[in-house]
Amino acid sequence: AQVATAEFIKSSTKTEECPTDGLPEFALVGRSNVGKSSLLNSLVRRKRLALTSKKPGKTQCINHFRINDSWYLVDLPGYGYASAPQEARANWYEFTKNYFLNRESLVSVFLLIDASIPAKKIDLEYASWLGQNQIPMTLLFTKCDKRKKKKNGGKRPEENVEDFQKLIREYFKEAPPWIMTSSVTNQGREEILLHMAQLRNY
Ligand code: GTP
Ligand code: MG
């Protein structure tokens, strides 16, 4: 699975504003700062196609990037950004939920989970919401290059991933597919692209 071309197409604030050409698309979702935009750049081997930041809340719109002129990667704003005003948070739920429930060309959601910290309730809740609404999902564990740190609970990424998988079993009969990734080392890059190619060909 190769990425020959990747181009930014448009930023939308509503589902109705998204591209109408019907090409299949995959959305990257997850908590603010989990590494959605970084992962997108890693997948397309470009440093700054999607803008990233140390500060959470960087991505604010539904951003469509067309790959090989035949499918889209979609970068979405993150959830759980504590310092966002109440109104902004309510708005986030409105528009991303509307997008998930109404976007017909959405093939699958890629839910990003930070593997460098212990499992977060909000991620489990989010995964469960997607599951309840029958939105196909793959889990991408991010920042797997990070070493364990005391302040982050003192566990290795592999251990955090295992804990998360155990917790998520309560919500799902069949566990969603999952891939361990890093935008720093490009771990998981080929596996993700191959998985996306398979999903497009169903
Ligand atoms: P929002 O747009 O605010 O929702 O954030 P985002 O999920 O798009 O995160 P972004 O890609 O902007 O990355 C947030 C921070 O995490 C940046 O400082 C990145 O450099 C860092 N980061 C992202 N991916 C990785 C990774 O795989 N490993 C490490 N060590 N750091 C990462
Ligand atoms: Mg972003």
Ligand positioned closest to the Cα atom of 41:
1
Q: How far is the CA of 132 from the centre of ligand 1 (A)?
A: 28
CA dist list (Å): 25 to 19, 82, 137, 142: 10, 29, 13, 20
Q: What tens digit of pLDDT does each residue of 23-60 get?
A: 999 999 999 899 999 999 999 999 888 888 788 777 67
| ipTM for this model | 0.98
Q: How far is the CA of 195 from the centre of ligand 1 (A)?
A: 22
Q: Which of 29, 32, 33, when mutated, tests ligand 1's pocket best, judged by the most ligand atoms within 8 Å of its CB?
A: 33
Among 47, 27, 35, smallest CA distance to 146 is for 35
Domain range 6-200, CATH class: alpha beta
Q: What tens digit of pLDDT does each residue of 60-110 get?
A: 789 999 999 999 999 988 887 766 667 666 677 777 888 999 999 999 999
Q: How far is the CA of 97 from the centre of ligand 1 (A)?
A: 23
**pTM metric for this prediction:** 0.93
Structure tokens at 150: 């005391």
The pLDDT value recorded for residue 158 is 95
Could you tell me if 85 and 65 are in contact, meaning their C-beta atoms sit under 8 angstroms apart?
A: no
